[in-house]
DNA sequence: CTTACCATGTAAGGCGTTACATGATTCA
DNA sequence: TGAATCATGTAACGCCTTACATGGTAAG
């Protein structure tokens, strides 16, 4: 029972909340999970097939809509698999920030270039923060309706706090570099 | 000149500071760059050979020490390559936190289990923070000796600020989950 | 009628880790 | 003399992204 593939666990996790199509799973990744996880169609669709083959999810054709939709539902076995994975200790938390990497080697570039990278980073964060704040508000309103919201809120709070810290750091870093020329 | 492999750039960046062996490069990764980048021997050694073949670094046998050391030095071309890469916009900043993933699916686990993951995360951060604080102190003392220190300090400050925020979040998250039971 | 979005999937290739394989040196 | 650390490298394999390929539907 070792070697749980992360992609399987993420998908099963999303399916544990609601039944979804592959396309919708991708959308969740690009919005809700965006700031701490990601995956492409090229890994999602094969993984879904695999989950069905292993009996962890079932696939049914959508007859109601006019679109060619494949809807996936988690099975009892899938839920057990997910639960088992959740009991295991965390294997890896990984941060790969190219921005920090380029900054680290800043002595090979001009101050202007370093500032340029910091500002680009700042803008990206400033653009994403409102979505998290919006999610926070919605979740706080509906906190009593669904326990799942409680956990979702915790991750959103993580995102908000770290993003605000990033913005603080950007300001300080810009000052530091500008002052010294 | 597109498609710069990150592993090449990190190595060249480290070599831009000083000449190093593959083993030392790995050590830098595991200490200095640890909280925002990583790589294994299996990618470092082949990359070094590749850099030499492309004329971006030179390899010389160490004759002084008794060990079988291969010392790598960056060339003019390597430095130009690095500089070029530094001018390009950041392609990807990525965070993959399994801790957040497991927390997100918390409705499938007990509160105790969720707390367990948060506490493990907290301990890991508490253990690593002192190294960053130590680096900060040393860098502040030697700030005037080398411009490279300035940039190194910026990344360390990023690490310290975000780690402190993580610890704050851990405390709040634990309270939040404990209160509601 | 055309643009944006919904929707599914495959193939090739890149990138990187893990595990393996080997051996020297230093220190207790 | 045994453990820890220094030191280099390869092979197999896994995982994932990118690019490709295709087509339906909703809205303006």
Is residue A2 predicted with pLDDT exceeding 70? no
**What is the average pLDDT value for chain A, to the nearest integer?**
94
Per-residue model confidence as pLDDT tens digits over A62-111: 887 778 899 999 999 999 999 999 999 999 999 999 999 999 999 999 99
The pLDDT score that the predictor gives to residue B102 is: 97
- Per the CB < 8 Å rule, is B105 touching A82? yes
Q: How far is the CA of A36 from the C1' of D16 (A)?
A: 16
Cα→Cα distances B153→A39, A130, A135, Å = 33, 30, 34
The runs of H, that is alpha helices, within B19-146 are: 22-31, 41-53, 76-87, 98-104, 111-141
Nearest to B97 among A93, A97, A107 (CB): A93
Average pLDDT over all residues of chain B: 94
Does the beta-carbon distance from A83 to B120 stay under 8 Å? no
The whole-angstrom separation of Cα B64 and Cα A137 is 65
Parallel/antiparallel/unpaired status of strands B93-97 and B70-74: unpaired
**Contact residues on chain B for A92, CB-CB shorter than 8 A:** 96, 98
User: Are B82 and A108 within 8 A, CB to CB?
Assistant: yes
A178 touches chain B (CB under 8 A): no
DSSP β-bridge partners for residue A58: A73
Per-window interface: B 101-140 vs A, CB < 8 A: 101-109, 113-114, 117, 120-121, 124
With CA of A46 and C1' of each nucleotide, the nearest comes out as C9
Query: pLDDT tens digit string along A43-70?
Result: 999 999 999 999 999 999 988 777 889 9
Q: Which pTM does this prediction carry?
A: 0.94
Helix then strand then coil, in percent of chain A rounded to 5, is 65, 10, 25
Count the alpha carbons within 13 Å of A40 in the hemisphere toward its beta carbon: 1
Distances (CA, A) of B67 to B14, B21, B62: 22, 11, 8
Per-residue pLDDT band for B7 (boundaries 50, 70, 90) equals very high
Within 8 A of A87 by CB-CB distance, chain B residues are 109, 113
């Amino acid at each position: 029972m070792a070697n749980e593939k992360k992609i399987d666990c993420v998908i099963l996790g999303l399916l544990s909340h609601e039944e979804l199509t592959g396309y919708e799973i991708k959308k969740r990744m690009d919005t809700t999970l965006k700031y701490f996880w990601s995956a492409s169609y090229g890994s999602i669709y094969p993984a879904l097939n695999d989950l069905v083959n292993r009996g962890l999810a079932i696939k049914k054709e959508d007859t109601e809509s006019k679109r060619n939709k494949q809807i996936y539902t988690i099975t009892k076995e899938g839920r057990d698999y997910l639960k088992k994975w959740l009991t295991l200790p965390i294997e890896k938390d990984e941060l790969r920030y190219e921005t920090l990497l380029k900054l680290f080697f800043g002595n090979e570039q001009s101050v202007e270039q370093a500032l340029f990278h910091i500002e680009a980073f700042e803008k990206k964060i400033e653009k994403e923060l409102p979505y998290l704040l919006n999610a926070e508000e919605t979740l706080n309103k509906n906190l009593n309706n669904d326990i799942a919201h409680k956990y979702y809120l915790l991750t959103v709070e993580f995102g908000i706090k770290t993003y605000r810290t990033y913005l603080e750091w950007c300001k300080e870093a810009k000052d530091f570099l500008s002052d010294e020329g």
